[in-house]
Structure 1
Amino acid sequence: MLTTSFCRREVRVLSYVVIAFSLFAVIHVSLLKIENLQVVERLEERTEEPKQVSEREEDRREGFSTVKNEPAEFSSSAPQTEKISLEGEAGKTTARKRKKDKKDECKNMDGNLSGHFFQDEVVKFNWTEARSQGQREVFEQRSKVLLDGCAKMDSGKGVLNPPLDPIYQSNLWLKDHGLIYCPINKVGSTTWITNLLKMAGEDTRHGRGRVRKIYSAPLGLRQRKSFMKKAMRMIIVRNPLDRLLSAFRDKMLHIICKENQFMVMQKMISTKYSDPDTPTDPAGRPSFRQFLMFIREEMEKFWASKGQHEVNNHWKPFWWYCAPCHFEYNAVAHMETLSEDQEYIIRETKLYGKLNNTRTHSSKNDHFTSTREATKWYFGQIPRSLLEEIIRLYQPDFDLFGYSPEDHLALSNAQLN
């Protein structure tokens, strides 16, 4: 009897224990599922990003085709993903508020998030020896214009005497290919720097600092001079006024979500300079007229100080940036004919197959998809007197590289003060 009773009690206790553990397991699994769902919901809320579309100019040229690569984000000022705590209701509320604030900060006039993207095109040519000879003659003529311009200039004004050491260091020396290249901001330099980093097997995000270390100048002055005599010396230029407009569209119209020098500059220019003919921008960005007024003041200080006043690299004059009368560049490429010019340079320096002939189309942060239409509209808002002053301040760049300001002057508005 005792044995039977004892066994029954043991069975009941064991049953209760099993039931208790089962209930505990069910409750535990349910809680884990709820927690996982909450985490997923919060992650989805943080990782939602609006679609952004970069505009692309359509190039129509004879004799070559282009292959478009996928666009990639290319801006150090783009919003960065923030790490947040997913614990508790307070963290969720904070995350939502940060997300909303970031969207509000980055909205442009149309209410869309502004991004900064680039899009590469690989250019394919049906290249012939006749075409190569024609390009060689083009470069010879441009070199002659450069040398004649240098001979006519008065070095007493400081035009021919920029400091050479920084230029030796900033130039890229491709010692294995007999090429020296002076990379100028807003004149195709992004394309070349990206391609040279790829050729070296480097991360393209490293930029100018890394590419200068890889393609650095020979240490000795004698070695530099010796290499310069036999090397192809390349510079890429464009009409100085087109370069200023490109810098404006890139650096002044871009909605910047992280404070940097260009955000500060935008606010300063829009506040300091008056443009009664253009409505105030709600995001605090300056008009093109205000930007040129800023450029005029900067360049006047630059000339008065004989180059001691530091001018931003995106609008620093070509002659100061690259010392063309010292280096005597024999491969003067123009942005207006860059694809043909690059093809010749790549082939002549045995870089064909190692370096793609590409062009980079960057978002311009306005409504224009055609550079021609943008040029017509923006310069139509500029008083002729202001544009004439800008031309005077950049005159050496026009003279050395054979550019004319007449088309842009014809677009300017003589009725504006």
Structure 2
Amino acid sequence: MLGLGDINWRTQPHVQLASSPLSRFRSTLVPPEFSRWWLAPRSTYTSWQLECNCVWTYTMHVPPKKRLNERVAVLREGCGREEETSRIRAETLDETAMARTEVVTEVRLSVCVVFKAGSTAWNFLMAHLYNNTAILESREWYKMMNVLKPDWERYRQITASSKYTRVLMAREPLERLLSAYRDRIQDQTHYSHQASHYAPLIFHSVRGIRYSWRDLFHANGTLKMVPTFPDFVRYLVRTVPETYDPHWRPIHLLCAVCRANYTAVVHTETFQEDMHYIMKRTDLNTKIDEKLMYTENNKGRGNTQDLLVAYYSMLEPLVLEQIARVYKKDFILLGYDPTSLLNLISPNITIDWRGEGLWYLYS
């Protein structure tokens, strides 16, 4: 049993959280005046937070190997409960995953590269590994996907091989969605294909208005009117997820997560440590300096939790529940639980993200 000397306590501003008793720890870990607890397991640590006038957090590190193995176990267990996929759907999933897979043959490593989940950092590293001067000069890192993707026969060999390390990139779904909106829709300091393509569709779907090009766009292609986050999300819950842009399409629809036999699931939240372990395990670290990967790592702007609460609090509870259900499989299969975040966003209403019935979203 851990004693108080083994604990790293730190305080944070008070937030009201769901609680559950952990009585067996009380005498050892908790000052007796506190009576309610909240347990929130995370990828790298276990966090016990107490409801009082502050939040106390205990942090215990989990080794990368154990963490990656646990995520794969969660994925395989979840996939074992999935219904059998039809042949046509399976082929579609495999084709999509193949297009997103990058293969580093020299070290027998494949990665399903997911936008907004570490893709820029990874492709920056790959561009340097293969000294692709065209991409290094243009800084269009995503084009490494076309350079390193396998053909169909090679993809099938890799997914069946016991000699390959097969990596799946993942990120907390609601955080990834918000990051995609802020970067590809809201940020008009640069031209974005997603803003140009989806803004007219969003306005027509949500507001019933078809704006002219002159009314909607500046001469350089950036938006004069930017869809709000509620507009964006309402558009998504009226749209079939399989048709989403790859920046916000659910990962289980991008990477065939139950078909590609992944041996490691890398979370953005622990990206640096996870990739350090994988590069060392595959000897990729002997071919290129992994520190390059972190020089081009897109960092979010602002406190992540504050941003999540601020943006998602704009949504009506029903819409919040709908969008959470769109990413239900990502939560379950990739080892995330949005319950605590949803409680922060909507403290007075229970959001049933595990519910069924996505059919009504498209009516």
The equivalent residue for 2:13 is none
The equivalent residue for 1:74 is none
Percent of aligned pairs sharing the same letter: 23
The alignment partner of 2:106 has SS state of coil
1:358-392 per-residue CA deviation (whole Å, 9 max, x = no partner) reads 3345476xxx5222221121122222211111121
Q: Quick check: 1:287 aligned with 2:241?
A: no
The alignment partner of 2:161 has SS state of helix
TM-score (norm 1): 0.58
The alignment partner of 2:276 has SS state of helix
Q: Quick check: 1:154 aligned with 2:83?
A: yes
Q: Contact 2:116 / 2:180 at 8 angstroms: preserved in 1?
A: yes
* 1:196 Cα deviation from its structure 2 partner: 0.2
Q: Contact 1:180 / 1:231 at 8 angstroms: preserved in 2?
A: yes
Of 174, 183, 187 in structure 1, the residue corresponding to residue 117 of structure 2 is: 187
CA RMSD, Structure 1 to Structure 2 (Å): 3.3
Q: Contact 1:384 / 1:413 at 8 angstroms: preserved in 2?
A: yes
The alignment partner of 1:332 has SS state of strand
Matched ranges for 1:1-400 at <5 A: 134-155=63-84, 161=90, 162-203=92-133, 204=136, 205=138, 207=140, 210-217=143-150, 220=153, 224-225=157-158, 228-255=161-188, 258=191, 260-270=193-203, 272-273=205-206, 283-298=224-239, 301-302=240-241, 307=242, 310-353=243-286, 354-357=288-291, 358-359=293-294, 360-362=296-298, 369-400=302-333
* 1:177 Cα deviation from its structure 2 partner: 0.7
1:143-174 per-residue CA deviation (whole Å, 9 max, x = no partner) reads 10000000001235899834313422431111
The equivalent residue for 1:28 is none
The equivalent residue for 1:102 is none
Q: Compared with structure 1, are the counterparts of its residues 225 and 196 closer, same or farther at alpha carbon in structure 2 (3 Å cutoff)?
A: closer
Q: Contact 1:270 / 1:284 at 8 angstroms: preserved in 2?
A: no
Q: Contact 1:170 / 1:182 at 8 angstroms: preserved in 2?
A: yes
The alignment partner of 1:163 has SS state of helix
Q: Contact 1:186 / 1:243 at 8 angstroms: preserved in 2?
A: yes
Q: Compared with structure 1, are the counterparts of its residues 231 and 361 closer, same or farther at alpha carbon in structure 2 (3 Å cutoff)?
A: closer
Report which of the two structures shows the higher radius of gyration computed on alpha carbons. Answer: 1
Q: Contact 2:237 / 2:323 at 8 angstroms: preserved in 1?
A: yes
1:120-147 per-residue CA deviation (whole Å, 9 max, x = no partner) reads xxxxxxxxxxxx9921111111110000
* 1:247 Cα deviation from its structure 2 partner: 0.6
Q: Contact 1:379 / 1:411 at 8 angstroms: preserved in 2?
A: no
TM-score (norm 2): 0.65
1:78-102 per-residue CA deviation (whole Å, 9 max, x = no partner) reads xxxxxxxxxxxxxxxxxxxxxxxxx
Alpha-carbon separation, structure 1, partners of 2:155 and 2:204: 50
Structure 1: tracts of 5 or more residues without a match: 1-61, 63-131, 275-281
Q: Compared with structure 1, are the counterparts of its residues 355 and 384 closer, same or farther at alpha carbon in structure 2 (3 Å cutoff)?
A: farther
Q: Compared with structure 1, are the counterparts of its residues 225 and 178 closer, same or farther at alpha carbon in structure 2 (3 Å cutoff)?
A: closer
Q: Compared with structure 1, are the counterparts of its residues 227 and 178 closer, same or farther at alpha carbon in structure 2 (3 Å cutoff)?
A: farther
Q: Compared with structure 1, are the counterparts of its residues 290 and 159 closer, same or farther at alpha carbon in structure 2 (3 Å cutoff)?
A: farther
* Count of aligned pairs: 270
Q: Compared with structure 1, are the counterparts of its residues 160 and 392 closer, same or farther at alpha carbon in structure 2 (3 Å cutoff)?
A: farther
Amino acid corresponding to residue 146 of structure 1 in structure 2: L
Alpha-carbon separation, structure 1, partners of 2:155 and 2:198: 42
The alignment partner of 1:327 has SS state of coil
* 1:355 Cα deviation from its structure 2 partner: 3.7
Q: Compared with structure 1, are the counterparts of its residues 226 and 336 closer, same or farther at alpha carbon in structure 2 (3 Å cutoff)?
A: closer
* 1:331 Cα deviation from its structure 2 partner: 1.1
Deviates more, 1:331-340 or 1:404-413: 404-413
Higher RCO (CA < 8 A, seq sep 6+): 1
Amino acid corresponding to residue 313 of structure 2 in structure 1: G
* 1:191 Cα deviation from its structure 2 partner: 0.7
* 1:272 Cα deviation from its structure 2 partner: 4.0
Q: Contact 1:145 / 1:401 at 8 angstroms: preserved in 2?
A: yes
The equivalent residue for 1:278 is none
Alpha-carbon separation, structure 2, partners of 1:246 and 1:159: 32
Q: Contact 1:319 / 1:396 at 8 angstroms: preserved in 2?
A: yes
1:295-354 per-residue CA deviation (whole Å, 9 max, x = no partner) reads 1112xx34xxxx4xx221011111110111111211101111111111101111112150
Alpha-carbon separation, structure 2, partners of 1:332 and 1:288: 29
Amino acid corresponding to residue 356 of structure 1 in structure 2: E
The equivalent residue for 2:341 is 408
Q: Contact 2:118 / 2:297 at 8 angstroms: preserved in 1?
A: no
Q: Contact 1:292 / 1:390 at 8 angstroms: preserved in 2?
A: yes
1:41-83 per-residue CA deviation (whole Å, 9 max, x = no partner) reads xxxxxxxxxxxxxxxxxxxxx9xxxxxxxxxxxxxxxxxxxxx
* 1:402 Cα deviation from its structure 2 partner: 1.4
